[in-house]
Amino acid sequence: MVRALEARAPLSLSRVLSCVESFDDYSRLRLADDFAHQLNVGKAECDQAVAFIDTVLDDDTVSNADLKGLLNRAMGPGWGVTSPYGANAKAARQHLSAARDAIAAWDGWIS
C-alpha cells in the first residue's frame, strides 16, 4: 500500500515534511520558518501537503504501518527520533496528524 500512497503524494510532500520540527522539549511539532524559507516552500505546496495528508488519514484502508512506511520514505527513518509520539506505527499516524496541523497553521509565507 505504501507505494500506492507515494504515487498519489504531491511531489513536494517530502520537502514540506522535512521542514516540520519538534519543539518545546520535543512535545509538539511546528513548521520551521528557517527550513521552509531555505527550501522556498510556498503556500501552494503546503496546501497540497495538507490535502494529501487529510486524504490518507481519512482513508480507512490506510493502516498505521502504511503511514510509517510513507514517513520513512518521505523523511527518512529519523523522523521517529525526535517525534513527540515515538517511532512505532501508531505514532506515525499521530505524527502525521500533528505535522498536518503544523503545516496548516504556518503563516510564514515569503512575500
pLDDT in tens, 47-101: 999 999 999 999 999 999 999 999 998 988 889 988 999 999 999 999 999 999 9
- What's the one-letter identity of residue 47? D
CA 63 – CA 30 distance, rounded (Å): 24
Examine residue 85 and state whether it is found in any structural domain, yes or no.
yes
Residue 36: is it exposed, middle or buried by C-beta count within 10 angstroms (0-12/13-18/19+)? buried
**pTM (2 decimals)?**
0.90
What the block records as the C-alpha cell of 37 is: 524559507
What pLDDT score was predicted for residue 71? 93
What pLDDT score was predicted for residue 16? 95
Which residues constitute the domain of residue 16? 2-105
Examine residue 56 and state whether it is found in any structural domain, yes or no.
yes
Examine residue 37 and state whether it is found in any structural domain, yes or no.
yes
Q: Provide the number of structural domains found in the chain.
A: 1
CA 50 – CA 14 distance, rounded (Å): 12
What the block records as the C-alpha cell of 39 is: 527550501
Examine residue 111 and state whether it is found in any structural domain, yes or no.
no
4 or 76, greater pLDDT: 76
CA 62 – CA 56 distance, rounded (Å): 7
